[in-house]
Amino acid sequence: MDEQTFHALYAATAKPLWAYIARLSGRPDVANDLLQETYCRFLTAKLGNVELAEAKPYLFRIATNLLNDRWRKGEDTTWSEPPEIGFERDLDTQIDVRDLMQQLKPRERQLLWLAYVEGMTHSEIARSTGLRLMSVRILLFRARQKAAELLGRKERAVHEV
Amino acid sequence: MKCEREQQVIEATRNGLWASSLRAHLRDCALCAQTELIAASLQEDAAKAERMLDLPPAGMIWRRAQTRRRQGALQRATRRPFLIVGALGALYSVVFLLWGIFQLPQSVYRPFVTPPGLTGGVALAGAALSGILAIVGSCVLLLETKR
């Protein structure tokens, strides 16, 4: 891959990838570090010329592995983004999502993000996370139930007020 | 439990293009309504996060990756000569140890080994062999470094 191709790939994928890492780890500083590490690993792997469609799941896979490594070491298991970074507290949706993220397990956050923000299919999620297809279906279903319950509870509370 | 139109709902939430049939379906399908609620919340959050972030320049990451690639290549290139030198060094140590033992007075090493007709010539040959091995090791190291 030459530098120009990399610049184009970076422009197309860096923002969603950063958001993925930041929202999963709850740490923007960690997101900056892991983003750079993800692209460095991608570039040093001998892949030849890869299309954007192939590169994106691969980048998410690298980022997922890096996040999993942190979780295995016991880092970022609780979602702890400081209030002043990344969120405007006065927006209902963001407060909802913040609360939602805090109450979900890392794996649940991961699956929901890939499915509902990146729009990945179950097989693409399986490739990006290293999980089995059946596991993705089951875990995603549970995560989605939990998220819907949490968001629904918030909505009901807002309507009652 | 899964609705066949769930992926369409996610896509529509992503790109904002809602077909009227999909809108109608959303009113009737509790699962898709749930999907829309989650997807919209998370996507809005993602969009806000993306607007606020300050990405490191691509050129910096490219250069860092190039540096790492070169370091990796250098490490791989130097691994083999170091292994060869290590093996030769170990061999040299064994020969040197044997030579040293045979230089001791016979009364010291006789209880441990019984040399078959040890002469000064054998000891000299051992020393010469270890010298040759050291020279060969150095040459290999030099050649590999140049490569």
Full pLDDT tens readout for chain B, 147 residues: 578 888 899 989 888 888 889 988 988 898 888 888 889 888 888 888 777 777 889 999 999 999 998 998 888 888 887 888 888 888 888 888 888 777 767 666 565 555 555 566 777 777 788 788 888 877 877 777 666
A139 touches chain B (CB under 8 A): no
Q: Which chain A positions have a beta carbon within 8 Å of B44's beta carbon? A: 93-94, 97
Closest residue in chain A to residue B33, using alpha carbons only: A148
Q: How far is B35 from chain A (nearest CA, A)?
A: 8
Angle between helix A3-25 and A106-116 (nearest 10):
130
Averages of pLDDT over runs of 10 residues in chain A (161 residues) are: 88 91 84 92 80 83 91 68 47 65 86 91 89 92 88 64 54
pLDDT of residue A87: 47
For chain A, say whether B30 makes contact (Cβ under 8 Å). Answer: no
Closest residue on chain B to A8 (Cα): B58
**Does B49 contact A144 at a Cβ distance shorter than 8 Å?**
no
- For residue B47, give the H/E element and its range: helix B30-52
Residue of B nearest to A84 (CA): B52
Measured over the CA atoms of residue B10, residue B14, residue B15 and residue B19, the dihedral's sign is: positive
Residue with tokens 């139109």: B5
Which residue in B has a C-alpha nearest to residue A120's C-alpha? B7
As given in the structure block, the two tokens for residue B55 are 């990405």
Beta strands in B34-129 (DSSP E): none
- Name the E strands within chain B: none
Q: Closest Cα of chain B to A127: distance in Å? A: 17
pLDDT of residue A140: 92
What pLDDT is recorded for position B94? 86
Cβ contact (<8 Å) for A7 and B65? no
Closest CA to A44 of B49, B112, B62, B77: B62
Q: Which among B38, B48, B53 has the least Cβ separation from residue A112?
A: B38
**Inter-axis angle of helices B30-52 and A106-116, nearest 10:** 100
Which residue in B41, B37, B50, B31 sits closest to A101, CA to CA?
B41
Per-residue pLDDT tens digits for A58-104: 899 999 999 988 888 777 656 555 444 444 444 555 556 777 888 88
What lies within 8 Å, CB to CB, of A55 at 6+ separation is A9, A13, A42
Does B39 touch chain A if contact means CB atoms closer than 8 Å?
yes
Model pTM above 0.90: no
Closest CA to A127 of A63, A71, A60: A60
Can you give the C-alpha Rg of chain A in angstroms? 17
